[in-house]
């Protein structure tokens, strides 16, 4: 199993991006092997899957994508495409780099719930999908934020993004609770103060602490990638989005 930590950074200025709803795209961050935690990164708090209470706070935003999203961008270029299609928000990646569609609004502390389905990917299901919270563009067009995601072959991860480079807070780890292949998974990603929590199908799989000096607020984005260079195309559908206060 090889989960690369490659990410994209914007090719155009953030102000142009917001004005024309262009994609955030860019360059590889790290090599082909999972990256060791950098010095100074808070210790990861791994937890065995446990039952998770279903109470949530006030709903801030929701979308079943029955109509074109007014919150999430649409675009198509050489890196892939993102759009609302057939009752879902679709993220396509045509290379072995993460591609995503980001929100217009910015959020601080949130609980982001959604359904996610790998529709197209490599034969071994080695493709990533998830949500970036607190996505913030720097002046040099690189980004900061946190990725909370799973893979089609049954792994999960929480990763810090700084200047467009990823560092694992919880590295790729397998979990039986994750439905593999083209089966749908229900995700709850919490970004609350310094706490990051990833829940899959009603069970907590991982938690971690944010990085000192990291983004405290920003956009959210749905993201997808194929980790197989020989089968680089992936298409992931996101649905039933609910954003709540913690």
Residue 87: phi and psi, rounded to 5, are 80, 20
Across-strand partners of 200? 187, 203
Chain-wide mean pLDDT for the chain?
83
Helix (H, G, I), strand (E, B) or coil at 27: coil
Burial class (CB in 10 A: 0-12, 13-18, 19+), 58: exposed
Q: What is the pLDDT of residue 145?
A: 96
The pLDDT score that the predictor gives to residue 4 is 52
Quick check: 183 pLDDT over 90? yes
Contact 235, 121 (CB under 8 A): yes
Which pair of structure tokens corresponds to residue 24? 């955030």
pTM of the entire structure?
0.80
Q: Give me the residue spans of the domains in the chain.
A: 14-28+45-244
Q: What is the DSSP letter of 109?
A: S
How far is residue 104's CA from residue 82's CA, in Å, rounded to a whole number? 14
What's the CATH number for 14-28+45-244?
Answer: 2.60.120.560
CB atoms within 10 A of CB 156: 25
100-140 pLDDT, tens digit each: 999 999 999 999 999 999 999 999 999 999 999 999 988 88
Task: For 66-77, write each residue's pLDDT tens digit.
Answer: 999 999 999 999
pLDDT of amino acid 115 = 98
Predicted confidence (pLDDT) at residue 143 exceeds the cutoff of 50: yes
């Amino acid at each position: 199993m090889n989960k690369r930590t490659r990410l994209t950074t914007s090719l155009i200025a953030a102000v142009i991006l917001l004005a024309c709803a262009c994609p955030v795209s860019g360059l590889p961050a790290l090599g082909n092997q999972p990256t060791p935690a950098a010095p100074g990164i808070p210790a990861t708090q791994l937890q065995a899957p446990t039952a998770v209470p279903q109470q949530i706070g006030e709903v801030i935003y929701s979308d079943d994508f029955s109509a074109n999203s007014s919150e999430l961008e649409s675009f198509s270029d050489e890196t892939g495409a993102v759009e609302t299609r057939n009752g879902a928000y679709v993220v396509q990646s045509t290379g072995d780099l993460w591609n995503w569609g980001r929100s217009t609004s910015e959020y601080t502390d949130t609980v982001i719930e959604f359904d996610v389905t790998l529709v197209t990917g490599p034969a071994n299901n080695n493709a990533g999908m998830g949500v970036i919270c607190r996505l913030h563009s720097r002046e040099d067009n690189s980004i900061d934020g946190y990725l909370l995601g799973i893979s089609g072959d049954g792994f999960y991860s929480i990763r810090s993004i700084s200047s467009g480079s990823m560092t694992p807070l919880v590295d790729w780890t397998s979990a039986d609770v994750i439905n593999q292949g083209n089966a749908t998974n229900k995700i709850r990603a919490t970004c609350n103060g310094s706490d990051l929590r990833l829940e899959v199908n009603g069970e907590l799989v991982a938690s971690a602490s944010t990085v000192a000096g990291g983004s405290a607020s920003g956009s959210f984005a749905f993201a997808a990638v194929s980790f197989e260079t020989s089968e680089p195309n992936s298409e992931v559908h996101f649905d039933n989005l609910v954003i709540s206060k913690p």
